[in-house]
Amino acid sequence: MSDEVRSGLPMVLPEPASEVEALKARLAVAEQREEAVRMVLRALIASLRPFGFDKKRFKRCIFEEGQDTPDEGPASSRHAVLHQEGRRVLREAR
């Protein structure tokens, strides 16, 4: 019974090579997003001062990280994370 097709349509299995490549690409993007979060944390730590949070320094650090981030490839996904997480830090710092 496990060999029968229940819906009347044949089951289509993806090619193993293309599936592996797709998973590798998704992993590369996820690793770059993780690195971007680390960049935001480093910028936040660098911006902490004895009497508070230096927003100008934080913005400058995030801007510099964005300048060093490539515009193509998996690493380009860092731009969105830097923007989103940077805005979140600034919003919560009020």
pLDDT in tens, 29-63: 999 999 999 999 999 999 999 999 999 999 999 99
Q: State mean pLDDT over 76-89.
A: 96
Structural domain range at position 77 = 16-92
Q: Is position 33 within any domain?
A: yes
The structure's pTM equals: 0.78
Is 67 part of a structural domain of the chain?
yes
Residue 42 lies in a domain: yes
Q: What integer best gives the mean pLDDT of the chain?
A: 88
Question: If pLDDT is split at 50, 70 and 90, which confidence band does 14 have?
Answer: low
pLDDT for residue 9 is more than 60: no
C-alpha separations of 48 from 19, 41, 44, 55, 87 in Å = 44, 11, 7, 9, 16
Give a yes or no: residue 63 inside a domain.
Answer: yes
Q: Is 9 part of a structural domain of the chain? A: no
**If you average pLDDT over residues 7-31, what whole number do you get?**
78
- If one counts the domains in the chain, the total is 1
Is position 2 within any domain? no
Domain presence at residue 10? no
